[in-house]
Structure 1
Amino acid sequence: MKILQIINNLQTGGAEKLLLESIPLFNKDENITMDLAVLNNNDAPFLEQLKKKNPTKIFILSKKSPYSPSNILKIIPLLKKYDVVHVHLFPSLYWVALAKLISFSRTKLIYTEHNTSNRRRDKLLFKIIDKLIYSQYSKIITISDDVDKELKKHLKFKDSKFELIQNGVNLNTIKKESGYLKSELAKGINDNHKILVQVSSFTAQKDQKTLIKSLDYLDKNVIAVLVGDGPLRSECEELANKLNLTDRVFFLGIRMDVPKILKTADIVVLSSHYEGLSLASIEGLASGKPFIASDVPGLKDIVNGAGLLFPDSDYITLAQQVSSVFKDNFLYSELVNNCLAKSQMYDIKNTVHKQINLYKWIT
């Protein structure tokens, strides 16, 4: 069976990380040949990693914006070569569906919905267009209960159109990794610091600002290490400067050694306004450190009963929780054990197995 995955690019992100980790596992199945198409290269770090670890074919459709409709014409020839095309993220969602419509292709399409919300769902015109676009897909994978509920409410399709398959991470990679010396993370960090690590893009969906603000209510030896990049990074840097926290907030940018950084943390945090099923949160659970996250869709179900949850944007409660964890060794150990146990539910091998069964079923 020949499968093609299509995504905007392989910049760092949850959907992108899923493909980086899962494509090599799919290709270990003797009945599967899986290739990848990206709408643009964009010097994507995950793309370079995938090239090194897997002999899969990679099609780079353009050096232009993924939002260019010209991508439709470049997708059409690819549809003829595969039994199933599995699509991720907007605008790939639209371009593949339109390529199928224009070409009258019989190739089966699958789309994975990675988020509980997006700006299109608030606009009447896009609600109508979305129904046409999503109808071109044989199956729509939803990655969590929240994503499933919200998308069904938006599209009003029959339940049989949807398949809930949770995303996962490579737990073995995280388990085998060891941490850095704290002083190796960045200039200005020493072994006396208590390190809070957040791994996420700097976008409106995420909320690094709440973590930064919480430092004002914590001992001065508590610092925040922020991994990732994005359009709102400069705003976070300005906030740290405004609060006189530049010596306590460290911006590491995009890193390929995230498991090693998580192992160096004292507490892993994910402050966000909403998620689909956050792979960063699963990595946080699996890190062997206490995990604290926002009580928002896409996080609360994962973290509840394992780590700690704080109200969206509530930096004072976040600071109180961090203080409690540092002061109570029993609580610290209990959170670690509970988080590790919960992470076992999200092994990427389970995700791959369920998706292979779905490919077989629709063909």
Structure 2
Amino acid sequence: MKVLHIINNLGTGGAEKLLIDTIPLFNKKKRHVDLLTLDGNEYPYLKKLKASSFLSVHSLNSRNIYNPLNIFKLIPYLRKYDLIHVHLFPAQYWVVLAKIFSFSKTKLVFTEHSTSNKRIVNSFFRVIDKFIYKFYAKVICISDEIKDVLVKHLTIDESKLIVIENGIDIELFTKTVSINKSEINKNILDSDKLLIQVAGFRYQKDQVTAIKCLQHLPQDIKLLLVGDGEFRNDLEKLVNSLGLNERVFFLGIRLDVPVLLKSSDIVVISSHWEGMPLSVIEGMASNKPVVASNVPGVFQLVADAGLLFQKGNDRELASKIEELLCDDVYYNEIAEKGFKHAQQFDVGKMIEKQMILYKELLEK
């Protein structure tokens, strides 16, 4: 069984992080699983994966992932692998078109990572999406909410959909040891209280609300923003305009996220929408309270194991944070509930389900 995962790049995001963590584990189980990215930017995630001796990492080295010429560059790979597992748009489209033009019999699998995107609300792209999804033997939905969205908006046959929830390496987060806060940045005191948000800098993730909430909190509460993206300059300007330069720290893309989570006090997820954010599970697995926006893809995951606030409401977010930091008993209660909740999302379960799916598709 030769399987190739295809994704736009390994910049920053939940899907990208998932592949970094899981593909090496597939290969340790004697499953031949490789990776291909459309662009060849040397992001930290990509460098980490290339350092692995378990797999081959390919790249189209495309300067523009939206260039249709990527279709023809993909065709040779469809002939080398038994099954192609695709993540994110536009790779989602290009692989299907490569299959059509090449008459390849390679089985295709796609993972839908989010409950919302620009194509779903656009009638023109909804028609195209319906066509594209027909060529995937199976569509993996990482949550029941995503499955419901696809059935409702794209009228996809439910038999084509399968729910396989994401997972993380629970043991890694359990064993990770915290460091002194001053080691993260010299301008952070060990007595400070740290909020942390791990997410790409794009509209969906709404770091704006996390930043604004600091206006309603004491000076010793500071925010770590882990990630990067197109909105970074806008976020830096916002921090400067609010006079929060000494309280917000842009850490960039980091490979030591478990350490940063363990060394922080509260994990914040302020997204406008989500699929099944790994950052929620990772925060809980780090035994830290999670405060998240009450949106699809998040509230079902947080349930009673964390705190929810109204999307975009920075005052309510600040209030939830104060509730936790002002009551040690309550803080520990929420942290413990989250830690127990995270145990059901071990990555081993996800890998086993995916391997069963691959086998079933290739045997047909």
TM class by shorter chain equals over 0.9
1:12 equivalent in structure 2: 12
Q: C-alpha separation between the residues in 2 aligned to 1:151 and 1:344?
A: 28
Matched, 1:24 2:24: yes
Q: C-alpha separation between the residues in 1 aligned to 2:296 and 2:173?
A: 25
1:251 equivalent in structure 2: 250
Cα shift at 1:167: 0.8
**Paired residue type of 1:226:** L
CA contact (8 A) 2:168 2:347 kept: yes
Equivalenced residues, count:
362
Cα shift at 1:263: 0.6
Cα shift at 1:53: 2.6
Normalised by the size of structure 2, how large is the TM-score? Answer: 0.97
**Paired residue type of 1:189:** I
**SS, match of residue 243 in structure 2:** coil
**Over 3 Å off, 4+ runs:** none
Cα shift at 1:256: 1.1
**Paired residue type of 2:173:** I
Q: C-alpha separation between the residues in 2 aligned to 1:122 and 1:211?
A: 27
Q: C-alpha separation between the residues in 1 aligned to 2:235 and 2:39?
A: 28
Cα shift at 1:63: 3.7
1:294 equivalent in structure 2: 293
The residue correspondences of 1:147-186 to structure 2 (distance < 5 A) are: 147-186=146-185
2:2 equivalent in structure 1: 2
Cα shift at 1:352: 0.4
**SS, match of residue 289 in structure 1:** coil
1:275 equivalent in structure 2: 274
**SS, match of residue 292 in structure 2:** strand
Cα shift at 1:94: 0.2
Q: C-alpha separation between the residues in 1 aligned to 2:50 and 2:176?
A: 22
CA contact (8 A) 1:179 1:260 kept: yes
CA contact (8 A) 1:165 1:351 kept: yes
CA contact (8 A) 1:9 1:40 kept: yes
Percentage of identical aligned residues: 48
Cα shift at 1:349: 0.7
**SS, match of residue 203 in structure 2:** coil
1:303 equivalent in structure 2: 302
Q: C-alpha separation between the residues in 1 aligned to 2:70 and 2:54?
A: 24
Matched, 1:324 2:323: yes
Structure 1: unaligned runs, 5 residues or longer: none
**SS, match of residue 28 in structure 2:** coil
Structure 2: unaligned runs, 5 residues or longer: none
**Paired residue type of 1:9:** N
Q: C-alpha separation between the residues in 2 aligned to 1:22 and 1:245?
A: 37
Q: C-alpha separation between the residues in 2 aligned to 1:260 and 1:350?
A: 24
Larger CA deviation: 88-97 vs 56-65: 56-65
Cα shift at 1:187: 2.6
Matched, 1:355 2:335: no
Larger CA deviation: 168-177 vs 307-316: 168-177
Q: C-alpha separation between the residues in 2 aligned to 1:273 and 1:223?
A: 22
CA contact (8 A) 2:141 2:161 kept: yes
Cα shift at 1:105: 1.0
Cα shift at 1:328: 0.9
Q: Deviations over 1:258-285 (max 9, x none)?
A: 1100011011111110111111111111
Q: C-alpha separation between the residues in 2 aligned to 1:47 and 1:3?
A: 18
**SS, match of residue 114 in structure 2:** coil
CA contact (8 A) 1:62 1:71 kept: no
**Paired residue type of 1:352:** I
Q: C-alpha separation between the residues in 1 aligned to 2:34 and 2:265?
A: 39
Q: Deviations over 1:289-333 (max 9, x none)?
A: 111111111111111110101010111111111111011111111
**Paired residue type of 2:269:** L
Larger CA deviation: 253-262 vs 241-250: 241-250
**Paired residue type of 1:50:** L
CA contact (8 A) 2:27 2:54 kept: no
**Paired residue type of 2:120:** R
2:212 equivalent in structure 1: 213
Q: C-alpha separation between the residues in 2 aligned to 1:131 and 1:190?
A: 53
Q: C-alpha separation between the residues in 1 aligned to 2:127 and 2:323?
A: 49
1:126 equivalent in structure 2: 125
**Paired residue type of 2:12:** T
CA contact (8 A) 1:12 1:45 kept: no
Cα shift at 1:50: 0.7
The residue correspondences of 1:326-341 to structure 2 (distance < 5 A) are: 326-341=325-340
Normalised by the size of structure 1, how large is the TM-score? Answer: 0.98
Cα shift at 1:83: 1.3
